[in-house]
Amino acid sequence: MNNYIKSELRRSLFSKKAMISFIIAFIALIIPLYLFCYIGGISFIGLHFDAVDVFARIRSTSEGALLVVIFPLLASIIFSDSYTVEKESGFTKFIYSRMSVKSYVWIKVISNAISSMVVGIMASGTMFIFLICILGIRTTDGLVVDGPFSSIYYSNKLLYGIIMVLITGICYAVISELSLGISAWIKNRYLVLIIPFFGYILCGTLIEELGINRVFNFNFSQVYALNIIVTTTHEILYPLMLLLIGIGLFYLGVVKREKDM
């Protein structure tokens, strides 16, 4: 079982899809960084912003910030369709002859979450380290931070920056698990990748306009962005809820399929 987990992690982390996801995510951070420097001016940014400030802007709120929009797709393409591919090829029958369905489910859940989280952290972490090398970390006056963990920003900016990187990885893992869960119920691998993305967009647009988010905030982009209207409790519990839904969907779907065979 341990060997199979290692094999799955190697297969997912060193795949072309993981590399593509990393490159696109990094480019999605470079574009708003370029626009931020072009509009604000490098000298102005150097005076009023440090690495943490700039990173906070380019990942979600700056002009041209793309990662906050496309990260659900980037998270899903890494490994979330692996069950669908293995089911179509008949590989699952081979696996089930060597381990139980439950063991297979947990290995798939763990490897999918870890691989997506690692790619998300690596892309954002690389940009954050680059910004630290260029701008450093110091007390500045260019950014006012509220929302979850905002007190940490004012007491330990480096730790706040690390939290932003980790939140990115967690959001990747959550979306990838939702995609994996859907894959146990839908045979079309492209729908597996697209449905969570459209759900993500829907929760930030139509659901927002209907006022439903005032009752319970389904807007996951605000969790990713550490938005001011999101409480620390919601920042923790909402991703956990979605993660459990994704895992539950996958477990129930796989078990149901095998019983129907």
Q: Containing domain of residue 35, as a range?
A: 2-256
Q: Nearest Cα to 32, choosing from 62, 72, 70? A: 62
Q: Nearest Cα to 192, choosing from 172, 176, 168, 169? A: 176
The verdict on residue 261 lying in a domain is: no
Q: From CA 26, how far away is CA 67, in angstroms rounded?
A: 9
Total number of domains in the chain: 1
Q: Nearest Cα to 180, choosing from 119, 259, 110, 99? A: 110
The verdict on residue 122 lying in a domain is: yes
Environment class of 11 (CB within 10 Å of its CB; exposed 0-12, middle 13-18, buried 19+) = middle
For 174-202, the pLDDT digits (tens) are 999 999 999 999 989 899 999 999 999 99
For 1-33, the pLDDT digits (tens) are 778 889 999 999 999 999 999 999 999 999 999
For 83-114, the pLDDT digits (tens) are 999 988 889 888 888 888 999 999 999 999 99
What distance separates the 2 farthest-apart alpha carbons in the chain?
66
For 108-131, the pLDDT digits (tens) are 999 999 999 999 999 999 999 999
The verdict on residue 73 lying in a domain is: yes
Are the beta carbons of 120 and 25 closer than 8 angstroms? yes
For 62-85, the pLDDT digits (tens) are 888 999 999 999 999 999 999 999
The verdict on residue 29 lying in a domain is: yes
Model's pTM, two decimal places? 0.95
